[in-house]
Structure 1
Amino acid sequence: MAQALVSGYHHLTLSTDGAQEDYDFYTKTLGLYSVKRTVLFDGTIPVYHLYYGSKHGDASTIITTFPFKKPGIYGRRGTNQSRTIMQSIPVGAADYWVDRLNARGIPATKGSRFGLTRVIFAHPCGIPHELVENPGDTRAPIVNPAAGTTAQTAIRGIYGAGVAVFDIDSMNEFVEGGVGLKLEANSDEGRMYSVPDNLGPHSVVEVIEDRASKQGTWMLAGGTIHHFALNTGTEENQVALKARLEGMGFTDVSEQKDRNYFKSMYVRSPGGALFEIAWTVPEGWAKDEAPDAIGQSLVFPPWFEDRRAELMQGLEAADF
């Protein structure tokens, strides 16, 4: 296996639909905290970029969304695309979540994959989600009294991402030899790779083979997962991982992009899923808000200040 240049997940990013339903789903139903409210930094269309996670925005807890409610712009879920968002819950909490989700009008059932009990449901825009009982996860639960979650039930953070591919063998060298993940299971359920992390065995990438579905869309459009980001921790590790991937022939690794709170590079995997490698800048989420008040106001990066009025006018109304 390649040298570990990543240490867990940094975040997962989806293109959803309405901003209000998205905010309510993650903060009120799933009990995450608002970590940052800003806008999409790429392109010219005014779109929110919303971040959810633990109260202080710890790495490996962050889910981010682009509520992409634009006429005629909607994605197609399919193969050769990231498919499932997975978060970790305490062992024994699955029944609580099945009951809670169904009571709130979100159909949920229990299932099992790779020996772990899961709660299976979907975001209001249709993106599959799972809450996974992982006995190896020692992170503190993200208790949110306002949402009614407790230490016995609350989400702990990211468990992983599921990827659907037409040819499952196409991913192995990229995931193991390139990114440096470890193959933990290989069965008719698919392949499970663990993400190196000093916090314990609590995060994975799961790959399944899907030869029946059409190709999923890769553009920024509602109803699809856009990318998932692995945490390199430092710029040095990020640059080293870029060099390793390019040396293997994956030469479409992007140049570094400034996301204000972190620095990112992107690479399209052979199976289609978009991987990001990222590290958080020293100021982190407190770069433009007080540390005890992150995620409470709508903020813009310095290079968008001259577009504030234009962007505000084009953003969807929502009660955050």
Structure 2
Amino acid sequence: MSTISGYHHLTMSTDGAQEDFDFFTKVLGLYSVKRTVLFDGTIPVYHLYYGAKNGDESTIITTFPFRKPGIYGRRGTNQSKVVQQSIPVGASDFWVNRLGERGIEARKTSRFGIDRVEFKHPCGIELQLVENPADNRIPIANPAQGISAEHGIKGIYGGVIAVTDRNAMDDFLTIALPLKKMADDADGMAYEVPNANGPTSVVEVTEIRDEPQGTWTLSGGTIHHFALNTGNEENQLKLRAHIEGLGFTDISEQKDRNYFKSCYVRSPGGALFEIAWTVPEGWAKDEPADAIGSTLVFPPWFEHRREELMAGLEPASFQNA
């Protein structure tokens, strides 16, 4: 039995907080699930979470907007390149038109035999909406933003990782995590993320040798990590021990993220993975369950820094309408 069941979340380092919030909630129609701050380091930076209204794990995209501190990275190879979300089969035209009407260049493409829409976040990170015929999840409808269940995003499809050595990455994905290889051709490689509901999510790998090394630090304009869901602490620690025992010792101890517990591991190709599980209280740990994502909250260990952090954050209204 696999210790992984789908994705937990995907995390990007972006630019402006307000443009990020507007993009995910007003353009893509996701809901605000949590508004808090970066737990690592000392710089005041928002940590924003988006997804299904109830915060379903397989739907969560999180961002660190770095415009205020002015920290920017470099997109390149040996780095996560694309964030992918799943949409209903036949919904691509709707999204190409919707994005185009909002001044966002979008085009239909196909990879591994699956149609998808390619476009970019305002900070430049590449995104895709993928028509996954195997995904039976209910789409996220957002009537207030003009998005029905016919076209809504279903949740995470996966991500694309660029590498210079596809064999080393193949070993990591199939032996360390382990994932099942689904495709290996001129387009690259695709791996199925274990999921109780079938092949609803993947990791895709592309070989890029003619780009410089991409940034691995927390910095605007780059993807920070892909988080896989272990479901509980037992599975997380079992998988962590398995990965470390193979010699992948660039793996962190368990970290408390208030709503979930995490361990991070750097893959041979540079992309950072997280293995995570949600604590029993989940998103309702510091907000009412029916009002998650509506206030700016701080973890208990940051309460003594609330005024300092508030003063250092970028002004943003976070208005949904």
**Range into which the TM-score falls when normalised by the shorter chain:** over 0.9
Alignment correspondent of 2:263: 265
Distance (whole Å) between structure 2 residues aligned to residue 18 and residue 44 of structure 1? 19
**Matched residue type, 2:311:** Q
TM-aligned CA deviation for residue 148 of structure 1:
1.0
Instruction: Verify the 8 A CA contact 2:16 2:68 in the aligned structure 1.
Output: no
Aligned-residue identity in percent: 70
- Supply the distance in 2 between the matched residues of 1:200 and 1:283 (Cα, whole angstroms): 27
Structure 1 residue 71: Cα displacement:
5.2
Could you tell me which residue of structure 1 aligns to residue 16 of structure 2? 18
1:154-203 alpha-carbon deviations (Å, 9 max, x no partner) = 00000001000011111111101110110000000000000000122110
CA distance in 2, matches of 1:73, 1:312: 18
| 2:246 paired residue number | 248
Alpha-carbon separation, structure 1, partners of 2:109 and 2:172:
29
Shift of 1:73: 1.9
1:25 counterpart SS class: helix
What is the aligned partner in structure 2 of residue 135 from structure 1? 133
Query: Who is 1:117 aligned against?
Result: 115
Matched, 1:126 2:124: yes
Q: Tell me the alpha carbon deviations over residues 195-227 of structure 1, each in whole angstroms, 9 at most, x when there is no partner.
A: 000122110000000000000000110000000
Shift of 1:70: 4.0
- 2:76 counterpart of 1:82: no
Paired position in structure 1 for 2:212: 214
Letter in 1 for 2:304: D
Q: How many residues align?
A: 318
SS in 1 for 2:238: helix
From the superposition, tell whether residues 72 and 151 of structure 1 become closer, same or farther in structure 2 (CA, over 3 Å). closer
Question: Shift of residue 40 of structure 1?
Answer: 0.2
Name the residue aligned to 1:274.
272
Deviations 1:229-286 (A, max 9, x none): 0000010000000110111000121000000000000000000000000000000000
Query: In the TM superposition, what is the alpha-carbon distance from 1:48 to its structure 2 partner?
Result: 0.1
Letter of the aligned partner of 2:93 in structure 1? D
The residue type equivalent to 2:245 in the other structure is: G
Structure 1 runs not aligned, ≥5 long: none
CA distance in 1, matches of 2:69, 2:285: 34
The CA deviation string for residues 57-112 of structure 1, in whole angstroms up to 9 with x for no partner, is: 00110000000114552100000000000000000000000000000000000000
* Cross-structure match for 1:285: 283
| Contact kept in structure 1, 2:76 and 2:212, CA below 8 Å | yes
Q: What residue number does 2:173 align with? A: 175
**Within 5 A, what are the aligned runs for 1:178-197?**
178-197=176-195
CA-to-aligned-CA distance 1:34-66 (integer Å, 9 cap, x gap): 000000000000000000000000011000000
1:305 alignment partner in structure 2: 303
Give SS of 2:194's match. Answer: coil
**Superposed CA RMSD:** 0.7
The 2-side partners of 1:202 and 1:39 are apart by: 30
TM-score by length of 2: 0.98
Alignment of 1:39-188 (within 5 A): 39-70=37-68, 72-188=70-186
Mapped partners of 2:294, 2:143: distance in 1:
17
